[in-house]
Amino acid sequence: MILTCAAMKELEQRAFSEGLSADALMEDAGLQIARAVRQFFPGPGVCVAVFGKGNNGGDALVAARHLAAWGWDVRLLAAFPDAEWGPLPKAKFAAAARCRRAEIAELDSIVGESLVILDGLLGIGATGALREPLCAITRTINRKRASGNAAVFALDIPTGLNGDTGAADPACVVADHTLTIGFAKQGLVADSATNFVGRLSVLPLRDLSTRLDASRADAIVATPEILRTLLPRRAADTHKGDCGRVGIIAGSRGYLGAAVLCAAACVRAGAGLVTLFAPPTIAEALAIKVPPEVMVRVLPTTDELLAMMFDVFAIGPGIGAHPAADVAALVRKIPQPVVLDADGLNAIARDLAVLADAAGERVLTPHPGEMERLAPGSAARSRREVVGSFIEKYPVTLLLKGARTLVGKSGEPASFNTTGTPGMAVGGMGDILTGVIAALIGQRVRPFDAARLGAWLCGRAGEIAISHGGESEESLTPSRMLDFLGAAFRDLRAGCF
């Protein structure tokens, strides 16, 4: 569920009136923050907790105390004189005995292989433009992030961002991660906020989440807490037929890699049997390149394909200028679910009527450029508006790729993805996503849910490749990301942030 700032504050006040203490809530939030930091930085590093005089600052101090206990070198940087601190921040500062106090002038000189800055300056209760001394501090944080290899974690909301609109103050903190407490705030998923929010993590607090009924929400943030229930554990007697027969139509001259990545991802995401159909001119070359688990066959006629027994099809990666009429016929006639991507989307862009009378469920996975071809004028509208208007016209699941991938289907809440890294901005990532979604549908996951799960799993695999696999945002490749899909599945079930 996504809340306005006013609704979040009302929820907190109701919880306090029913006996929950602000101190207990702060302790819970601070522990969750510290755990989230360790998710992305598993080994101890240097942490600078920049805190204000309110409860948001108290959350930062509790997190700092836990990180110090876990071996981190922690410095506490106060934005205001001690006399202005609230009672809870004062108490939490006194409890953080292992931490050293720092001044803003020292921030530029603090170094560490893993250097984290916690932005605990202002919470959702702050309004209006940023003033001094906060402006000077936020600019210093941003400068350290840009030139000093620091990762910035904003607590609840980046300082200077409007929690309802997503509008940013000129001195707004630019966060790599935003750890929002309890529920996502409306402004955090605004298109304009993406570059300030970074990777969004919702830290669930049971004392708050149990007080709201999220079943009627029109938009949600897809967290592991929600998604892991959609992927049931396998029974002990599971066999390959239970895990789905997936047919992939992909590849053309010069685009063999797209087909290979899609098929490999399908195997790595748990599909029971994967068959890759390709033109006769490249079938032999593909058979050499794909994993040995993938069967490669020459692409048959449409009628022959329709007679084959598959649970799901994926169409589009690297098919190039394959006749649009053939693709449109498949999209219209195949009774099984179809995941449509890349050149498959381009092939139907001039004849979207095939979606209206398609024989089965369809999942479309466009990036913004492909979305513009499917719905001209999309670039001038918000992502939420684009997805909403498209699914009103066509009975499909639409996954609009981006830094905050959005999945929509008529009758379902719009679902914002949280995982991912700028390192995934490279060709081939979409081919992997197509294969993962198809594999999940083959394992009897609903197409809408498979799209949400696929987006989360691929994004998390990219994150793990950087945090645990030695990759950087510049070096990450789709092939390398495949190695971490298994870890992403484990993290989903473990309930990481």
Q: What is the CATH number of the domain that holds 383?
A: 3.40.1190.20
Looking at the structure, do residues 206 and 254 belong to the same domain, yes or no?
no
User: Given this model, what pLDDT does residue 415 score?
Assistant: 98
List strand residue ranges (DSSP E) for 196-333, in order.
Answer: 199-203, 219-221, 245-249, 273-278, 294-298, 312-315
Residues 145 and 292 in one domain: no
207 and 274 together in one domain: no
Written as six digits, the tokens of 89 are: 């921040």
Per-residue pLDDT, averaged over 28-49, amounts to: 96
Question: Is 400 a member of any domain?
Answer: yes
d(CA 2, CA 415): 10
- Let me know if residue 74 belongs to a domain: yes
160 and 137 in a common domain:
yes
On whether residue 264 sits in a domain, the answer given is: yes
**Which residues make Cβ contacts (< 8 Å) with residue 189, sequence separation at least 6?**
2, 166, 200, 219, 221, 404, 416
Claim to verify: residue 336 and residue 437 sit in the same structural domain: yes
Instruction: Give the domain CATH number at 38.
Output: 3.40.50.10260
**CA–CA gap between residue 346 and residue 438 (Å, rounded):** 19
Domain boundary (195, 217, 239) is at 217
Judge if 260 and 141 occupy the same domain: no
Query: 388 and 262, same structural domain?
Result: yes
**Pair of tokens at residue 51:** 């805190």
Query: How large is the average pLDDT for residues 221-236?
Result: 94
195-209, 269-283, 411-425: which range is least confident on average? 195-209
Q: 309 φ, ψ to 5°?
A: -95, 95
User: How would residue 214 be classed by pLDDT, with cut points 50, 70 and 90?
Assistant: low
Q: Is 224 domain-assigned?
A: no
Longest dimension (CA), the chain: 79
For residues 299 and 447, state if they share a domain.
yes
Instruction: Check whether 303 has a pLDDT greater than 80.
Output: yes
For residue 491, give the nearest of 442, 422, 412, 418 by alpha carbon: 418
If one counts the domains in the chain, the total is 2
H helix and E strand count, the chain: 20, 19
pLDDT in tens, 435-461: 999 999 999 999 999 999 999 999 999
Residues 348 and 461 reside in one and the same domain: yes
CA gap 323, 326 in Å, rounded: 5
Q: Which of 217, 237, 272 is the last residue of a domain?
A: 217
* Final residue belonging to a domain, choices 217, 242, 269: 217
Say what the pLDDT of residue 215 is. Answer: 66
Q: Is residue 222 in a domain?
A: no
Beta bridge partners of 277: 249, 297
pTM score of the predicted model:
0.96
78 is a domain residue: yes
Predicted local distance difference test score (pLDDT) of residue 323: 78
Q: Are 480 and 462 in contact (CB under 8 A)?
A: no
Q: Choose the weakest-confidence range: 200-214, 231-245, 371-385, 416-430.
A: 200-214
Question: What residues pair up with 364 in beta bridges, in sequence order?
Answer: 340, 398
Closest CA to 427 of 367, 344, 364: 367
- Are 266 and 175 part of one and the same domain? no
Same domain, 57 and 201: yes
**Site of tokens 């944080």:** 141
CA distances from 87 to 57, 84, 92, 343, 397 (A): 11, 9, 9, 60, 50
Q: Band of the pLDDT at 207, cuts 50, 70, 90?
A: confident
Structure tokens at 41: 């930085």
In this structure, the answer to whether residues 211 and 314 fall within a common structural domain is no
CA of 168: how far to CAs of 127, 171, 173, 176, 310, in Å?
Answer: 12, 8, 9, 15, 49
What pLDDT digit, counting tens, does each position of 316-375 carry? 999 987 777 899 999 999 999 999 999 999 999 989 999 999 999 999 999 999 999 999
Given a contact cutoff of 8 angstroms between Cβ atoms, the answer to whether 478 and 431 are in contact is yes
Residue 82: strand pairing partners: none
Can you give the residue range of the structural domain that contains 444? 229-494
Q: How many CB atoms lie within 10 A of CB 114?
A: 19
By three-state DSSP, how is residue 483 classified?
Answer: coil
pLDDT in tens, 152-199: 999 999 999 999 999 999 999 999 999 999 999 999 999 999 999 999
487 within domain boundaries: yes
